[in-house]
Structure 1
Amino acid sequence: MPGKTSAELAEAIVQILLIHPEVFDGRVISDAGGEPEIQILVNVEMPLPMKAKGQSPNGIRTKEPVTAKIPQNYPWKSPRFNLRDDFPRNLPHLQPIGKSHPPQPCLVDGHQDEFFRQFDLHENGLLQLIDQLIAWLEKAATDQLNNAAHGWEPVLRAGVSNSITLNAAYCRQLVRPGGGISLLSGRYLRSSKTEEPQFFLSADANKIPLKKDKPDIFTAKWIEDYASGNTVVAVVSPPKLPTGKPRLETEHYAEYIENFEDILARGKQLGCYALIQSLLTNISRYFDKAYLNQRVPVGLIFCIRRPFKLTGMETDIELIPYIFEIFPSDGRKSILEGGGSSKAYPAAQIDAISKELLCSVSGTKMPPRTAILGCGSVGSKAAFHLARTGGTITSVSDSDYFGAHNMARHALVRDNLGGQKANELAKELATLDQSPRTYPADILTGLSTDDGRKTIIPPRTQLILNTTASLGVREALCQWKPKFRKARVSEIALFGHGEAGIMLLEAPEGNPNLCDLMASFHAEKISPTAFKLLHDSEFGLSEVQIGQGCHSASMPMSDMRLSILTGTMVEELLELNDSKTNEGKIVFGFRNGSDRLNTQWATWTVPAFEIIPIAGSDGWKLRVSKAVLERIRVEMEAFPGVETGGVIVGTCSSRLRTICVVDTIPAPEDSERSAAKFILGEKGLKKAIERRFQESGEKLLDLGTWHSHVVEVGPSSLDWTTAADLAKGRPPPSVLLIATPTRLHAISKGI
């Protein structure tokens, strides 16, 4: 620290530590090398019978000496506390630093320096570390570092620079009751830039036999201080006990591994000595009459069954990894350069990328298996959101190619342009444990054929996400009967230069479908700001110049805005899909004016539509929302004993042969009601229809009329005449909806 010599700093730290009530003595014992070393004597509370003997049964003393070196960059870095050389090492939470170093306890979850630096006063940080140290010693004395309620504490690997990356779940699947060794193909990187070499190994989830006809199992290539190549990782599971029962390891063994002899000794403790010897023999045979003249690291993982589940995990099998090096030189006496004294290194087991890992880290439920239709900016972002939470992307479909302008918002970044978006997205998703099918062609064409549909929406797909912003694709998905696709359908789209977004989620059985939901959304009353974003041409597609004489129809928006809206809607999509609702959902969000931090969201629940064949048409159907049906029934109750009616409003699709009714316009005041008939008035009707058309952003059309029957009778000859008159007076299509006390009928003469 500024203004103090290292000796003065050490003495000051001793005085701070002596403030703690459990610290009885302290002194500076060395001031060499600019990192002074101090020693303190701490009191360890334990039950009276242990205290009377001066130590616990496992060798923890009531007064424990503790040393610590003060780092040169203190207080940016905290002291590391060491225990006496003969302190018991067969305990959890001891750093794996080898028997040539004094035992060092792990005092906090996470990084000790970060724990220390969270306190404004370094004096407080020191005393908090002493609290942690004394708590650790007291738990060690009473065997409370491990317990079934908390879980078995695995061998500590925090701070270990060597690692083996693999699929831990697959590794545990290789454990057999009778024991044995499985070799996994792997790769390595060896760094010689530090005093001790550093190793980074990775293993595939597939076994490989050591056969001489496979010369590339072990390879080595040096570039300056780095070597890389192929190797193996041996997964070792102990054999059964002589009694025939599985071997259960109930003890922590001292983590002192420094050479191959130590690995053999550990193997003997775990009942795996013969297996380790056979591994070495088999590697030697592989190199019989062959050599490499390069050191190659080999991974070794003991799979040990513990008496209860590991902390924070659903397995009782602990993976304890090490790395040693072989040196298959010509003229060698052993495959190990130094024989049994060849160095060995503890290694951290790092989980390979897997859907299970990503889901766990995300803290979410496993997302559904999803097919992505459209691989543009929204589709690519959505695909990565789902993949990064552990979901399976079953397919990606898009016929478009990458251009430089796509880099403004797309999830991918490419320096080689011209690739197809679907193929490029699939390649990138592969790094997240994904293997989606690709359909790099026109989606509408694909959805019209059996082979195309099987690629765009593969078997076992649970969710279809349409991000194309294409009415044609939406209608094609609505046309595809739910009983054949077996997947729930959703859609995400952005509007208003990324200031607004909508998410649609069909009911599980496809009623309401996407077209029903979009029509229902246009029937909702929204704020003027949201209306402008949705319907004003100022916020629609623009011609964006992407080269001389070249342009693209696009919607100018920033990547930040697109990512915020897309991420929020994907998250809400997963939540709603998991809610097991049998209704459709609409989610709409928009930024309210210039306040960038104020995004307002609304959700609507849409029940199933009533589906009515339209008599007199060529296979057309009328789909009527529940809200409209309730409005009609309320109107009928308001006029008992007479017929009543009004105008029906909604959308129409000639491709689907469907008329979708989502709103009504009340009958004008000059309408006539009687027990025998209803005559729709004309006063103000045209203005009312035009007003409703404009209020919907010119999306909802006048589709015809409805009227009631007082008794349970279908369309009359007068009704058919009225339908014909409707067809003449309105542009097609037009329909007449008849509501009886218990049923609905639809007729038309114009379609």
Structure 2
Amino acid sequence: MLHSDSLQPHAGELSAEVLFAIQEISQYFGINDPKVLTLDQWNVVIPVTYSVSLPSRGAVDDISISNEEPMLIQLSLNSYPHIAPYILSDRKNFPRARLSHLYFTTDGEPARLCLARNNPHEWFATIKMSDFLDVGGQWLYKAATGQLDDDGDEFDPTRLEGNVFKNHIYRYDMINEVVINDQRLVPNLPVALFGGAQLLKAGTLFAFQTNVPVPLFVFESVRDAIRELPKSEGKDLSANPMLTFVFWDPDGSIDNRYLTSRPENYGQLKTFFSLRGIDLHQALLKLEELGAIIRLGLCVILAIKRPRKVIGYNGNYEFVNFLISLPSEGVAAADNDTEVTIQGHIEPFNKDMANYLSARDQTPTTLYIGAGSLGSKLILHDARSGNLQIGICDDDKMLPHNLIRHELFADQLGQNKAEALATVIKQFYPADSTDKINAFEFSAIFLDRIFQEYKQIIDTTASVQVMNFLLAKQLPANTRYYKAEIADAGALGLFYAEGQNRNPRMDDLVNLACFYATKNQQLRTWRMNDAHREVTHLNVGLGCNSTTSVLADDMLSFHASVFSRILATAASQPRQDMSGILAMSSLDETTGFPNIGTEYIEVQAFDVLTCKAGSEWQVRLMGGIKELLFENSGQQAPKETGGVLIGIANYKTKTIHVFDIIAEPQGSHGACGGFVRGAIGLPAEIDEVKQKTGDVIGYIGEWHTHPMNLKRLSTRDEATIAELKELNRAVPIPTCALIVTLDELLVYVYE
């Protein structure tokens, strides 16, 4: 018997695209007068015959594939070629239950071949009709020769293409564990109970979700809580709690039949279950007696044990999901025509999935200080990659103008940014524990013991106050401090990471970025623009960080994405040889279309000198400066030599950072008993440094050598320092004198 025997010739008009497809099909099969039959109101079919090259002894495993196989080519009347054709079997006795790679159709529908594992419409968009028809012939040949299963030792799951009523979201591993351990709700029924919800959006059902097993000892409390919920008034729910029932064959029988005959009513579903050793109707009546059937829409999952691991999952059970639309009178009133629909299965978004899809290694526990525009983007990049150990610190609220660049939306206006972001992240991961996603709704300067819980601290505040606070804190030995900021009106992004044992330190790196403006044009442009930038708009009653910052969201997102990738790499650096990082991302639009770039600099540890004058000042020399000083000393010995130090001083942290030296300016004179530093051309040289760095880096002190190894200030040194104190206080900068002996650097700092 053929399906085409009961189909009528198509009497309506056909589009030019469908007519051309029919012509291609006719040419491929050598049909002079093709029949065009009506399959339904949306589709027509063209009967064809495939010649199948069978083995000499016929099809393997006695699968009844013949050498002349009648098939139907289905074409969409209104949407071809954007909707792909389908190849259907014209035979009503086609051996569908013994063949994989078939769609789940009802008994009355022709068996439909699955030719592409991914989207068939995307696949068809890349090939010709003849190629498509070739694949149909290959499918039949593989079916006859036992080669359809090409996934190794795995079982091909059911294909639900186009037959799904809503999706059912649950973790395969959760249900698989309950089934393989036979964790029944009651001893005499092979069924487990799970709690979940019907997910609503604007009051409309969009999915079902099953979250957790419900054992018998908590069943009554769960049941009663669900029953009480409709009695609450004024509720605004995003989910209706529900119960899901999972059945399995009590004998644990293995079923190697492929699911190709889809139940479409309660009578067919009872037969479908009975073939697997389950009396569904009697089981539901008993569950109704227990009070477990609470909603008319009843989610039922059948677990079918397969001979091999199911493709795409970590177990041998295949789960098939149904929704039974019970009558209001209950299970006893359900007749064979009661509606049954199939549900698709979707894994909930979870930590492991996020790690895998992001190709991200496990991220360390991370504390974000600052949940503003930049911080929110970095936080969500991290969270979406599977990091569920995140702390977020911010005392600010979400205000309307924040919508221009922040990752939060209008429904979070007025909420604390840290708390709102934590809530959003927790909603991402309904199947995972999120108790380590924490919000701290206060200023960073009140963070104390919290630091012990985190391996990474990421500061996105652009706050000197916060940086100074973190510099003063004794962070845990294995905690690394990072800082990210946007500069030059979005043209430049700067990312910093402290090195091993906090050396280089964050202030070393931030000031080093300014010094590198003497070598890098992009940094130089930033510093010079910054030196001349003026605030031109200030709304009274709002802070300068409110509506005055002009920066497009896409520019900020670009830098945030670069920072996120750098952070992922930096987090994997071996701790024992971890250098500091100064990374830059640039977005240049001065010539029209954007020109983007990145630069990554590893920064070695600074040499740290403690003041010998008894003050609390510290001098930090950029890597290489110490060696350069000793080299100059050795070259000029036994004469003294010297020059000036280039850097910056911070009165708050009592730190001088030295990034360069100038040796023996023109007019200098050295002798065995002393050194007189010249000044010819020196002011212009220093002014050039100041100009390139935006008046940040400049003269910061004097250095000279003691080749005779005098390890203290000489009388002449003390007199010179006294003179410099008066001059430097007018600037003001501290007075710094660095002495280079044969084997030691001695530093003296006076305010």
Shift of 1:201: 0.9
1:202 paired residue number:
209
Q: Any residues of structure 2 matched to 1:256-405 within 5 Å, and which?
A: 256-259=262-265, 273=278, 280=284, 283-287=287-291, 295-300=296-301, 302=303, 304=305, 307-308=308-309, 310-311=311-312, 315-325=314-324, 327=326, 329-330=328-329, 332=330, 335=331, 337-338=333-334, 342-392=338-388, 394-405=390-401
Is the CA contact (8 Å cut-off) linking 1:370 and 1:462 kept in structure 2? yes
Letter of the 1:658 counterpart: T
Shift of 1:494: 0.9
Shift of 1:174: 4.1
2-structure distance, mates of 1:134, 1:594: 56
Is the CA contact (8 Å cut-off) linking 1:6 and 1:31 kept in structure 2? no
618, 631, 647: which one pairs with 1:650?
647
* 2:567 equivalent to 1:556: no
1:601 paired residue number:
598
Letter of the 1:42 counterpart: Y
Between 593-602 and 631-640, the greater mean CA deviation after superposition: 631-640
61, 65, 74: which one pairs with 2:66?
61
Kindly tell me the number of residue pairs found equivalent between the two proteins.
706
2-structure distance, mates of 1:40, 1:607: 74
2-structure distance, mates of 1:538, 1:707: 32
Is the CA contact (8 Å cut-off) linking 1:26 and 1:38 kept in structure 2? no
Shift of 1:505: 1.7
Percent identical pairs in the alignment equals 20
Shift of 1:577: 2.9
Query: 3-state SS of the aligned residue for 1:585?
Result: strand
1-structure distance, mates of 2:125, 2:289: 53
* 2:489 equivalent to 1:481: no
Shift of 1:29: 5.8
- 1:115 and 1:409, CA in 2 relative to 1: closer, same or farther beyond 3 A? same
1:369-411 residue CA offsets vs partner (Å, 9 max, x unmatched): 3222112211122222222233336122222223222222222
* 2:221 equivalent to 1:229: no
Query: 3-state SS of the aligned residue for 2:47?
Result: strand
2-structure distance, mates of 1:20, 1:472: 76
RMSD: 3.9
Shift of 1:640: 5.0
2-structure distance, mates of 1:724, 1:167: 76
1:211 paired residue number:
220
2:748 paired residue number:
748
2:8 paired residue number:
none
Letter of the 1:746 counterpart: L
Q: List gaps (5 residues or longer) in structure 1.
A: 192-196, 242-246
2-structure distance, mates of 1:169, 1:489: 38
Shift of 1:24: 8.5
Is the CA contact (8 Å cut-off) linking 2:183 and 2:192 kept in structure 1? no
Shift of 1:164: 0.5
Shift of 1:740: 4.1
1:42-76 residue CA offsets vs partner (Å, 9 max, x unmatched): 13345x33xx4266633333332211333211333
* 2:144 equivalent to 1:145: no
Is the CA contact (8 Å cut-off) linking 2:254 and 2:304 kept in structure 1? no
2:160 paired residue number:
157
Between 27-36 and 152-161, the greater mean CA deviation after superposition: 27-36
- 1:715 and 1:133, CA in 2 relative to 1: closer, same or farther beyond 3 A? farther
1:629 paired residue number:
626
* 2:95 equivalent to 1:88: yes
126, 129, 133: which one pairs with 1:130?
133
665, 672, 678: which one pairs with 1:681?
678
Letter of the 1:463 counterpart: Q
2-structure distance, mates of 1:182, 1:432: 26
Between 681-690 and 402-411, the greater mean CA deviation after superposition: 681-690
Is the CA contact (8 Å cut-off) linking 2:620 and 2:655 kept in structure 1? yes
Is the CA contact (8 Å cut-off) linking 1:669 and 1:681 kept in structure 2? yes
Between 535-544 and 501-510, the greater mean CA deviation after superposition: 535-544
2-structure distance, mates of 1:19, 1:640: 96
Query: 3-state SS of the aligned residue for 2:599?
Result: strand
Shift of 1:322: 1.0
Query: 3-state SS of the aligned residue for 2:611?
Result: strand
2-structure distance, mates of 1:153, 1:539: 67
2-structure distance, mates of 1:40, 1:278: 46
2-structure distance, mates of 1:344, 1:653: 74
24, 37, 42: which one pairs with 1:30?
37
* 2:487 equivalent to 1:495: yes
400, 414, 420: which one pairs with 1:418?
414
Shift of 1:130: 1.3
2:85 paired residue number:
79
Shift of 1:606: 0.3
Shift of 1:567: 2.0
Is the CA contact (8 Å cut-off) linking 2:701 and 2:737 kept in structure 1? yes
* TM-score (ref. length: structure 1): 0.82
Letter of the 1:605 counterpart: E
- 1:317 and 1:618, CA in 2 relative to 1: closer, same or farther beyond 3 A? farther
Query: 3-state SS of the aligned residue for 2:694?
Result: coil
- 1:605 and 1:416, CA in 2 relative to 1: closer, same or farther beyond 3 A? closer
Between 680-689 and 715-724, the greater mean CA deviation after superposition: 715-724
1-structure distance, mates of 2:470, 2:321: 53
Between 230-239 and 576-585, the greater mean CA deviation after superposition: 230-239
Query: 3-state SS of the aligned residue for 1:542?
Result: coil
Letter of the 1:464 counterpart: I
Q: Any residues of structure 2 matched to 1:597-746 within 5 Å, and which?
A: 597-675=594-672, 677-710=674-707, 714-715=711-712, 717=714, 721=718, 726-731=724-729, 732-741=733-742, 743-746=743-746
2:233 paired residue number:
none
Between 602-611 and 651-660, the greater mean CA deviation after superposition: 651-660
Between 257-266 and 87-96, the greater mean CA deviation after superposition: 257-266
113, 116, 123: which one pairs with 2:124?
116
Shift of 1:182: 4.2
Shift of 1:595: 3.0
- 1:470 and 1:549, CA in 2 relative to 1: closer, same or farther beyond 3 A? closer
1:267-302 residue CA offsets vs partner (Å, 9 max, x unmatched): 66767x48x7896355312339xx96x622224252
1:194 paired residue number:
none
1:576-595 residue CA offsets vs partner (Å, 9 max, x unmatched): 33344611111112333243
Query: 3-state SS of the aligned residue for 1:61?
Result: coil
